Structure 1
Amino acid sequence: MKKIVIIGGGVAGLAAGIYARICGMDAEIYEKNAIPGGECIGWRRKGFVIDNCIHWLTGTKKGTELNDVWKEVGALLDDTEYAPLNSFFTSWHGDKKATLWVDLDRTRRELTELSPEDKEEIDKFIDYVEYSKKCVMPAAKPLDMFGFMDYINYGKEMGEFVNVMKELGNLSLKEYSKRFKSPLIRKMLCDYLPGDYTAYSLLVSYATIADGNGSIPVGGSLELSLRMEKRFKDLGGRIFYNKPAQKLNIEKKKVVSMLLEDGTTVTGDVFICTADTVVLFKKLIDEKYMPKLYKKAYESSEEYRAISGFQVAFAADKKFNPGETVFIDIEPLKVGAGTFDRMYVKVYGYDDTFVNGDRQVIQTNIFQSDADYEWWKSLTKEEYNRAKEELAEAVRTRIETAFPETIGTMEYLDAWTPLTYERYCNAYHGSYMSFMTTPGSKTIRVKGYIKGIKNLCFAGQWSNQPGGLPVAVTNGKFAIQRMFSRKEFEERINDQRRAEGREAERDTYDSIAAVCGKRVS
């Protein structure tokens, strides 16, 4: 039996392990932390659960290829419940507000009432979002395994979204927003994603929500990762925690073993690295193996930008409900190297996981760039801790200014920075996704093979921009799928489904309390 050694127990690593076991291979995962999930985690503070990752999960719509993958890996079950949300987000500016509702007709109507002079562009915007529902990531197999007819059919399925790409593919959100006269709509279009992102990125995100394909599983990020861990173990996989990798030993163009930081040596037939590519190519193996596209990306931070955040969590009265996610004007606040006059407040009362008695978790995130990361990195430990405390208090006062009903009611829970992601996940510049998709830059989309090493590949969100959970889970799957012919892989998947009686109910997995007290910030 071929042995697969997987570096990293995040969503990509767990997916690779699960598909390896389904395909009859021995599989071991080595994870540097004490719990699974990588960036897809949560933790507990003062009796409250804080969620780090899922703002929505692409692939929750039944019948989609990605939904099939989420179910295959156990992340979503037949009885999984979803939060009852009816909007994407709301933007405030001055005394006016605008909401992107799940109901596109309602959004069209309210935006037109807000700014009649923008009616033509508003109609186009809603049409573009409707067309963007057709932008569905292939999950049954990777593009490099497509045949001629697969490409033909995929192109047909994209429908009018192809025209959206043609018109907006070279525009940033900031540039696109200038088509609108309303200051509020301009703010709204650059609120959820940084204004440097490609314009269609927001449209696709909103379309996912509006199509019912971007719901939020109750229980949040950590429980999703725990369900995947359970699936992997139930299939006979082995996962080892607190086992960071130090080096891959290469002889005669093959990895012969992996050295862990505790001195342990691990052997296997095939090695799959699901950690950040900067970890693989600048720590585990010689940098000479790094593909040219990645060398360019790491050397061209203006073209290939990392995105992170400074985040703060509070406990607030459950009655506080300005909307699930609300962007507000704030007194300018310097965070890292930049100064910001907008931020959001995300209210988690929609899920009892994040409620304790009559109190709920609220969080905010201020985007951080490569320059901001460098600022945080320059601080001493004492300066770093003081900066976190002072900024958390500054965030509190700005929330209180926007929402006076919160004055004296919010309890500070935690704050985390780009360095938290770097320390916990070895994330490049603290990025919780892959490189930003910006107009004009060449999109990174690779198979993960490494020239000069026969039995090593990499998978995960850094294999495809813009990263995120869908990219992570599918690339974990694809790393295994490429080892087989299309027919053989499908036969093994179907054999496993028949053996399990896939329609039968699975046991629920409810052990969040046992692990979510781990400190990560």
Structure 2
Amino acid sequence: MKKEKKVVIIGGGVAGLSAGIYARLCGMEAEIYEKNSIPGGECIGWNREGYHIDNCIHWLTGTRKDTELYDVWKTVGALSDDTQYAVLDSFFTTCHGGKSATLWADLDRTKRELTELSPEDAEEISKFIEYVEYSKKCLIPANKPLDMFGIGDYIRMGKEMGDFVKVMKELGNISLEDYSKRFKAPIIQKLMCDYLPKEYTAYSLLVSYATIADGNGNIPMGGSLQMSLRMEKRFRELGGKIFYNKSAAKIEVDKKKAQAVLFEDGTRAEGDYYIATVDTAVLFGKLISGKYMPAALKNAYESANIYPATSGFQAAYSVNKSFNPGETVFIDIEPLKVGATTFDRMYVKVYGYDKTFVKGDRQVLQTSIFQTDADYEVWKGMFPDEYKEAKMKLSDEIVKRIEAAFPEIKGDLEYLDSWTPLTYERYCNAYHGSYMSFITTAGAKSIRIKGDIKGIRNLTFAGQWNTSPGGLPIAVTNGKFAIQRICHKKSITMEDYNDKRGTEGRETTGNIDDGAESLRRERVS
């Protein structure tokens, strides 16, 4: 019997798990090596004081069953036809100057309410709603990577995009901040700049909102960690092997081929193919020489003004379950300096819609304040005691501002946890603490990198850094695409493999439930 080819995957986040699952479906032996004690990378959550805190999913693109992306989420075990989703009827609400404006899942309701708020903006509001409708056609290609497209595939994709081309043509090269100035009402200007960094290209907000309005951006019940655990379970059931607490130190390269992965504990792993799903700033410079970094990626790192990284200062509290200001509500606040930047806006999100985040008669409340490269540098320059003090002081100041906006909960907020760009750097080796890839700013060329590494034939990289602005859909599809490219070189398809192999070869370095509990006990922040 012909011996299976072996794929060694560095990183057990969404991209790594996806690559491992598709490797098994292609008949390849697959091993995943993860630096932490549980899977998921940034798609995780943890417990504090008996409450569960979610780190990742605000909405999950690809929950509509007739999309290519849904098929991928289903294949990797993240979703199923029986998955339950949170019952939410809006994207978010903006409060400003005594008024409020909401982007409802019902576009007609949004149009009606925004027009009532600002009749003078009626024409621009109608156009906004029309363009959101067009943006429903912006679906992530997930069957195969663009570099494997033929003429017919491009023609089909062009037809399916329909009028979304108009959105890209008009809004693809202006920022959200500039777009907001098309509206006269200050409340609508705030609405356009609240949810995403104002430097983002304008169409980014419309596409995000379109997923909510189209039923293609739901929130799976149970939170981010449980979704990652479902993927891990799927990988093990297919016979994949996953090893935890294995931090990669170096990829050994000789004769234009990767020969082995060396780990911090002195062990090594060898295979026929290697896929690095780690942060690219770690891959190029630590694991292999920086000389291998693709030019487009190198340019992005060297042009932070055009390709900024995105992180956040985040805090979680418990509050009475009766408090329900709306799904996600942005409020005016007394100016607050976080990192290097002073903010006069923040949001409040309550999680009472999911019993995972409820304890007795109380629920989790969270907020996040954008942080950029400059803010990261401030956090990075702090001494340990200074860092802890800064976190606690900011957490207290946030309480004051939430209470000022919602006096009915004064004295009821109880601190649970806070985390910063340094948390993402420590836990995920994330460049400047970024939880996304590079921001797609107006006028900047979008990052789209295949993942092949010139000069190393059997090593590729996959994950959210391959395609800006990153996120879970990019991670899961790039994990799949990495395997498809290997299969293409081997002239096989996923359909050639019968996945009814049971669970032989299952192996971990510990019970997954024990690993999850280990993280929950660890102070992630």
Deviations 1:406-431 (A, max 9, x none): 11111100000000000000000000
Q: 292, 298, 305: which one pairs with 2:308?
A: 305
Query: 2 CA distance for matches of 1:10 and 1:518?
Result: 20
The aligned counterpart of 2:94 is: 91
Alpha carbons 1:222, 1:512 under 8 Å: kept: no
State the 1:294 CA deviation: 1.3
The aligned counterpart of 1:18 is: 21
Alpha carbons 2:25, 2:494 under 8 Å: kept: no
The aligned counterpart of 2:506 is: none
The aligned counterpart of 2:71 is: 68
Query: 2 CA distance for matches of 1:492 and 1:338?
Result: 54
Percent identity, aligned pairs only, is 70
Query: 2 CA distance for matches of 1:492 and 1:263?
Result: 37
Alpha carbons 2:16, 2:32 under 8 Å: kept: yes
Query: 1 CA distance for matches of 2:446 and 2:153?
Result: 21
Aligned length: 511
TM-score of the superposition, structure 1-length normalised? Answer: 0.96
Q: Flag the 1:144–1:137 CA change in 2: closer, same or farther, 3 A.
A: same
Please state whether the residue corresponding to 1:49 is helix, strand or coil: strand
Q: 113, 118, 123: which one pairs with 2:121?
A: 118
Query: 2 CA distance for matches of 1:102 and 1:419?
Result: 35
Q: Flag the 1:237–1:320 CA change in 2: closer, same or farther, 3 A.
A: same
Q: Say whether residues 1:107 and 2:116 are aligned partners.
A: no
Alpha carbons 1:307, 1:436 under 8 Å: kept: yes
Query: 1 CA distance for matches of 2:520 and 2:278?
Result: 24
Please state whether the residue corresponding to 1:107 is helix, strand or coil: helix
Q: 169, 173, 195: which one pairs with 1:192?
A: 195
Deviations 1:483-502 (A, max 9, x none): 22498424236x43x889xx
Please state whether the residue corresponding to 1:438 is helix, strand or coil: coil
**For residue 350 of structure 1, what is the amino acid of its counterpart?**
Y
State the 1:518 CA deviation: 3.9
Please state whether the residue corresponding to 2:460 is helix, strand or coil: strand
Q: Say whether residues 1:241 and 2:265 are aligned partners.
A: no
Q: 342, 346, 349: which one pairs with 1:346?
A: 349
**For residue 145 of structure 1, what is the amino acid of its counterpart?**
M
Matches for 1:162-177 after TM superposition, within 5 Å? 162-177=165-180
The aligned counterpart of 1:454 is: 457
- Computed over aligned residues only, the root mean square deviation of the Cα atoms, in angstroms, reads 1.5
Alpha carbons 2:238, 2:501 under 8 Å: kept: no
Q: Say whether residues 1:259 and 2:262 are aligned partners.
A: yes
The aligned counterpart of 1:279 is: 282
The aligned counterpart of 1:418 is: 421
Please state whether the residue corresponding to 2:170 is helix, strand or coil: helix
The aligned counterpart of 2:185 is: 182
The aligned counterpart of 1:489 is: 493
The aligned counterpart of 1:505 is: none
Q: 314, 327, 330: which one pairs with 1:327?
A: 330
Query: 2 CA distance for matches of 1:511 and 1:113?
Result: 54
Q: Say whether residues 1:152 and 2:155 are aligned partners.
A: yes
**For residue 232 of structure 2, what is the amino acid of its counterpart?**
E
**For residue 491 of structure 1, what is the amino acid of its counterpart?**
E
Query: 2 CA distance for matches of 1:482 and 1:33?
Result: 28
**For residue 390 of structure 2, what is the amino acid of its counterpart?**
A
The aligned counterpart of 1:361 is: 364
State the 1:94 CA deviation: 1.8
Query: 2 CA distance for matches of 1:20 and 1:132?
Result: 33
Q: Say whether residues 1:392 and 2:395 are aligned partners.
A: yes
Q: Flag the 1:471–1:513 CA change in 2: closer, same or farther, 3 A.
A: closer
Query: 1 CA distance for matches of 2:66 and 2:521?
Result: 36
TM-score of the superposition, structure 2-length normalised? Answer: 0.95
The aligned counterpart of 1:504 is: none
State the 1:165 CA deviation: 0.3
Q: Flag the 1:32–1:510 CA change in 2: closer, same or farther, 3 A.
A: closer
The aligned counterpart of 1:374 is: 377
Give unpaired runs (5+ residues) of structure 1: 501-508
Q: Flag the 1:219–1:193 CA change in 2: closer, same or farther, 3 A.
A: same
Deviations 1:375-403 (A, max 9, x none): 00010001100000000000010000000
Query: 2 CA distance for matches of 1:7 and 1:61?
Result: 30
State the 1:510 CA deviation: 9.0
Q: 407, 431, 436: which one pairs with 1:428?
A: 431
The aligned counterpart of 2:508 is: none
Alpha carbons 2:284, 2:293 under 8 Å: kept: yes
Query: 1 CA distance for matches of 2:238 and 2:418?
Result: 37
Q: Say whether residues 1:127 and 2:130 are aligned partners.
A: yes
